[in-house]
Amino acid sequence: MVIWVLARSMYESRLQYSASHAVRTVASIIFGLIYVSIWQGIGAERELGSYGTVGMVSYIAFNQVILWVTFTSHGLGLEERVRTGQIALDLVRPLHLFVFAASREAGSIAYNALFTALPLYAVYAVSFGLPIPRELSVWAYTAAALAMGAYTALCIGYAIGVTALWTVESRWFSLLNYSVNFTLSGFLMPLDWMPGWLQTIARVSPYPIFNYVPTQIYLGKAGPSSLLVPLVWCLLLTLLCIAASAAVRRKVEVQGG
């Protein structure tokens, strides 16, 4: 229940800044168009493997749509709470800090899903003929993958936010996370096309759950078995977040709140 209330309040506070959000949605649509254009240009000159130009355009466009479901604010807003000292009060709550931060961010993700991902999906479905799967199971598996992606993003965001207790430059960890994410998640190109060494790194990292896995499932190129590795990551990251919370508690207690 608490989770719902926190998420809802965040969702509603996001509703306040509609003008700047509209600009962001437009920017996102244009970003997607840029990436799609790149592949259309490349596809005009050569075959694009098992995807073909049309398949590749769908791959890129769907990536751009779901980008917003796994997009979290810097450190789940924890840096701000550390700076203002609010964190000490957050720790006194009967609610676990991770649950607190993650629920709030989940509201923000819901907002992004509704007001960015959905419009993008509609625009791309019309302009690029993004395929719409008929089987219910594909929808279900895609939804499961996206939920795991969102959860993974929350865990990583939380771990980054926690570093704010040790350095004022935690923002750079977020930037690093975003940029590694772009390459390893398969956002720019499918993992299969990457050079072997990079593919290996990508496949053992948690990042493919953000783009590659859900998009493959959505396009009917992979089944539910591709959800196994991400599931292991979700468990591992949960443990990491619990450990991180313990470290935060120690650190704040040492500082005397």
Partner 1 sequence: MYMLEAIGLEKTFVTSVPRAGRFKAVRTLFSREKRAVTAVKALDFRVAPGEFVGFIGPNGAGKSTTIKMLCGILHPSAGEVRVAGHSPQRDRRKVVRKIGVVFGQRTQLWWDLPLKDSFDILAAMFRLSPAEKERQLVRLEEVLRLREFWDTPVRKLSLGQRMRGDLAAALLHDPEMLVLDEPTIGMDVTAKRQIRTHLKLLNEAYGKTILLTTHDMDDIEQLCQRVIVISRGERIYDGEIGQLRERIGLPTVIRVAYRGDYRIPAGAEAGGGADVPDGGFRIVERREREVAVGCNRSETGVMDVLRQLSQWGEVDDVRVEEPDFEDIIHRIY
Partner 2 sequence: MNWLGISVMLYKINVRAGMQYRLNFILSTLLAALVTVSEFLGLVVLLSVFGAIQGWSVWEIGYLYGVLMTAKFLYRAFGSAINNFEPYLVNGTLDQLLLRPMPLLLAVLTSRTRMVGGELLQSLTVLGACVARLLVHGDASWWIVPETLLIICTGTVIMFAVGLATAACGFWITRTEDLSVLTDNATTTACQLPLSLFPEWLRTLLLAVIPFGFINYVPAMFIVRGEWGVWTLAATAAVAAAALLIALGVWKIGVTKYQSTGT
Chosen residue from 2, 41, 200, 204 binding partner 2 by CB under 8 A: 41
Q: Minimal distance in Å, beta carbon 109 to partner 2?
A: 17
Query: Per-residue DSSP letters for 191-206?
Result: GGGS-HHHHHHHHHSS
**Taking CB under 8 A as the rule, which mask of x and - marks residues 191-210 in contact with partner 2?**
--xxx--x------------
Q: Minimal distance in Å, beta carbon 172 to partner 2?
A: 4
Name the nearest CA neighbour of 109 among 159, 147, 142.
147
Tell which positions 156-195 bind partner 2, by CB under 8 A: 167-169, 172-173, 175-176, 179-180, 182-183, 188-189, 193-195
From partner 1, partner 2, none, interface partner of 243 (C-beta below 5 to 8 A by class):
none
CA atoms within 13 A on the CB side of 92: 7
Positions that interact with partner 1 (CB under 8 A): 15-16, 18-19, 21-22, 115
- Closest CB to partner 1 among 50 and 167? 167
Q: Give the Cβ contact number of residue 157 at 10 Å.
A: 25
Name the nearest CA neighbour of 84 among 175, 165, 174.
165
From partner 2, partner 1, none, interface partner of 180 (C-beta below 5 to 8 A by class):
partner 2
Residue ranges of the alpha helices (H) in the chain?
Answer: 2-14, 18-43, 52-66, 78-84, 86-92, 97-112, 118-127, 136-162, 171-184, 196-204, 212-218, 228-255
- Closest CB to partner 1 among 15 and 204? 15
Chosen residue from 3, 38, 118, 138 binding partner 2 by CB under 8 A: 38
Cβ–Cβ < 8 Å for 171, 73: no
Rounded distance between C-alpha atoms, residue 247 and residue 70, angstroms = 26
Q: Minimal distance in Å, beta carbon 45 to partner 1?
A: 41
Contacts of 46 (CB under 8 A, 6+ apart): none
Rounded distance between C-alpha atoms, residue 138 and residue 66, angstroms = 15
Rounded distance between C-alpha atoms, residue 14 and residue 235, angstroms = 29
Position 139 contacts partner 2 (CB under 8 A): no
Q: Minimal distance in Å, beta carbon 71 to partner 1?
A: 19
Q: Minimal distance in Å, beta carbon 183 to partner 2?
A: 5
From partner 1, partner 2, none, interface partner of 16 (C-beta below 5 to 8 A by class):
partner 1
From partner 2, partner 1, none, interface partner of 18 (C-beta below 5 to 8 A by class):
partner 1
- Closest CB to partner 1 among 60 and 117? 117
Rounded distance between C-alpha atoms, residue 95 and residue 91, angstroms = 8
Binding site for partner 2 (CB under 8 A): 17, 19-21, 23-24, 26-27, 30-31, 33-34, 37-38, 41-42, 45-46, 167-169, 172-173, 175-176, 179-180, 182-183, 188-189, 193-195, 198
